[in-house]
Amino acid sequence: MRIGYPCLNRSIGCSPSKTFRLASYTDERLEDTVSANLSCLKKILIYNAEHGLLFLRITSDIVPFASHEVCSFPWQVRFSAAFAELGNYCRKNGFRISMHPDQFVLLNAPDERVLARSIADLAYQTAVLDLMGLDRTAKVQIHVGGVYGDKAAAMDRFVKNYRALAPEIRARLVIENDERLYSAADCLALHTKTKIPIILDTFHHSLNNNGEPVNELFSAIRETWNRRDGIPMVDYSSQQGGKRTGAHAETLDPENFSLFLSESRDFDFDLMLEIKDKEKSALQALALAWGDKRLVTVAMPD
């Protein structure tokens, strides 16, 4: 088990998600922004190595507008050496890496223009991981998509569109259960037709489930990841008190987290903490998990 957090680090004084308005796009602006974002990403990786946080989700904004038609800059060529260096650092430190396109990426969209934009974005995120030279344990995670008034048809469309993807995208793509439309059971049904690995989001599962016993679910999910995909990834969060159901917690709930560790003790996975205070919660989680036989560590964290 490696423990990590998504996208941003609030302690180090830079953001890897710098962007700009579409209206102010220029090649120069893009080049400067990506350069700054990659330099910040390097700082995050160094921080993570120093603190024993070995799982990181790279922000989709690392190359702003990368999959947009406005983007005419050959960023893959310009930054190939920088991406390779970041990837080397990840491998050297035993990091697990993921990316998570946002809610606009819909592989089962009936509208072909939406589908085309979605595939372009998947190609971009796949290219980032490929440029970093990461093996296929580095994943791009998406939700199944919309229902469009006919769930069976929407799932069939997912299968069809998934099968038509380029092999390099399929090698990285994984699906995650969401809190309203597609449960873990729905994802497992899609797995039987596509062999796509499944990321379990435990918080979403608590809001949208079919009453599965935890052990059965972890067992089934584990079987969707083959050796080349690495051990499963799991997203963890908990409910923020006083906010709408489904709102992610601002800070780690130690009691809830310890219970989660205990309930999942028979299963190994890499764990992403989707808590709003980011690395702070991840460090707390690492401390709470300390001594857990699953934990991968490089050194005792500070």
Partner DNA sequence: GGCAGTCAAGTACGC
Partner DNA sequence: GCGTACTTGACTGCC
The residue ranges that bind DNA (CB under 7 A) are 6-8, 15, 17-24, 60-61, 64-68, 100, 102-106, 109-111, 113-114, 117, 121, 145-149, 154, 178, 180-181, 244, 246-248, 274, 276
For residue 67, which amino acid is it? S
- Which of 228/244 has CB closer to DNA? 244
Cβ proximity of 21 and 291 under 8 Å: no
- Which of 113/227 has CB closer to DNA? 113
> In b/e form, how buried is each residue of 141-151, taking b as 16+ CB within 10 angstroms?
bbbbbbeeeee
- Which of 133/246 has CB closer to DNA? 246
Angle at 124 between CA 120 and CA 125, to 5 degrees: 120
**How near is the Cβ of 91 to DNA at its closest, in Å?**
26
Q: Up-side HSE of residue 300: CA atoms within 13 Å toward CB?
A: 1
Residues 6+ apart with CB under 8 A from 247: 239, 240
Q: Strands, E, within the chain: which ranges?
A: 3-6, 55-58, 96-99, 139-143, 173-176, 198-201, 233-236, 270-273
- Which of 3/66 has CB closer to DNA? 66
- Which of 50/102 has CB closer to DNA? 102
**How near is the Cβ of 187 to DNA at its closest, in Å?**
15
**How near is the Cβ of 245 to DNA at its closest, in Å?**
9
- Which of 56/109 has CB closer to DNA? 109
**How near is the Cβ of 108 to DNA at its closest, in Å?**
8
- Which of 248/280 has CB closer to DNA? 248
**How near is the Cβ of 174 to DNA at its closest, in Å?**
15
DSSP 8-state class, residue 247:
P
Cβ proximity of 125 and 140 under 8 Å: yes
**How near is the Cβ of 201 to DNA at its closest, in Å?**
8
**How near is the Cβ of 206 to DNA at its closest, in Å?**
13
Residues 6+ apart with CB under 8 A from 13: none
Instruction: Give the Cβ contact number of residue 102 at 10 Å.
Output: 10
